[in-house]
């Protein structure tokens, strides 16, 4: 799954994975903020500011199931 797919699902109010792995970190979804957070408090979609947007949205993520 790509990050753009997750963003589309959030925008369309579809279900999204609760946990994903991206760039060797596990990110957990917070539905209130509509963002994923790492254990150190980093917000996934806020990280876009440091990365070129087109590289970021086409990145593949691994879905983590409990």
pLDDT tens digits along 1-38: 999 999 999 999 999 999 999 989 999 999 999 999 99
Strands (E), the chain: 19-22, 25-30, 35-37, 62-64
- How confident is the model at residue 41, as a pLDDT? 94
Split at pLDDT 50, 70, 90, the class of 49 is: low
Query: Do 2 and 58 contact (CB within 8 A), yes or no?
Result: yes
- How confident is the model at residue 45, as a pLDDT? 85
Predicted confidence (pLDDT) per residue in 50-65, tens digit: 666 667 888 899 999 8
Q: What is the mean pLDDT of residues 35-47?
A: 90
């Amino acid at each position: 799954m790509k990050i753009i797919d997750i963003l589309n699902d959030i925008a369309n109010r579809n279900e999204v994975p609760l946990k994903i792995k991206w760039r060797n970190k596990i990110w957990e979804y917070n539905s209130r903020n509509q963002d994923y957070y790492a254990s150190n408090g980093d917000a996934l979609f806020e990280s876009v500011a440091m990365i070129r947007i087109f590289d970021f949205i086409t990145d593949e993520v691994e879905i983590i199931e409990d």
